[in-house]
Amino acid sequence: MTAPRRILLVNGPNLNLLGVREPAIYGHETLADVERLVTDAAASRGFEVTAVQSNHEGVLIDAIHEARLTAAAIVINPGGLTHTSVVLRDALSGVALPVAEVHVSDVYAREAFRHHSYVHDVAVVHVIGEGVAGYVRATNLLLDVVTGRAEG
């Protein structure tokens, strides 16, 4: 069976406020900008994107579970769930898809509680602190893994 030519883009709590919430930290680009950038990057490699954003952990977990049947990989910015959610980590681990972890800001240069990521060990790609453009780099690196152009 051929792997689907689709990736799941997951954005966690408060990322719907990109462009509005603390623009000095997160910039002025919006979630719609992120989705367009990832969709364009994926399309240039022959992949489609399904995007989900929610402020509710269970919605994100359900989307991740569904991805095991519909996607070849997952790009995720878990937002604050990065530092708190074992169940989100377990969902990512459980579907056994390649994962790219993205953070708009440099979480390691911020408050100490942001330095731990429950997603880190299940992700094969990490792009931290590159702003919204980091989603494009994460998508391309992840697609390199999916298509066999990189180890992961």
93 is in an annotated binding site: no
114 is known to lie in a ligand binding site: yes
Query: Which candidate, 110, 60, 57, places its Cα nearest to that of 84?
Result: 57
Q: Which one of the listed residues 26, 115, 116, 126 is annotated catalytic?
A: 26
> What are the residues facing 52 on neighbouring strands?
10
**Catalytic residue chosen out of the listed positions 103, 115, 118, 135:** 103
Residue type, 93: S
End-to-end C-alpha distance for the chain, whole angstroms: 21
- All residues at 6 or more sequence positions from 70 whose CB lies less than 8 Å from its CB, including other chains: 4, 6, 8, 50
Instruction: Tell me whether residue 21 is annotated as binding.
Output: no
Closest listed residue to residue 51, CA positions, set 61, 69, 63: 63
Q: Is 108 a catalytic residue?
A: no
83 is known to lie in a ligand binding site: yes
What are the strands of the beta sheet with 99-103, ordered from one edge? 48-53, 6-11, 73-77, 99-103, 125-128
Residue 65 appears among annotated catalytic residues: no
Binding residues for substrate: 77, 83, 90, 104-105, 114
Binding residues: 77, 83, 90, 104-105, 114
Enzyme catalytic residues? 26, 103
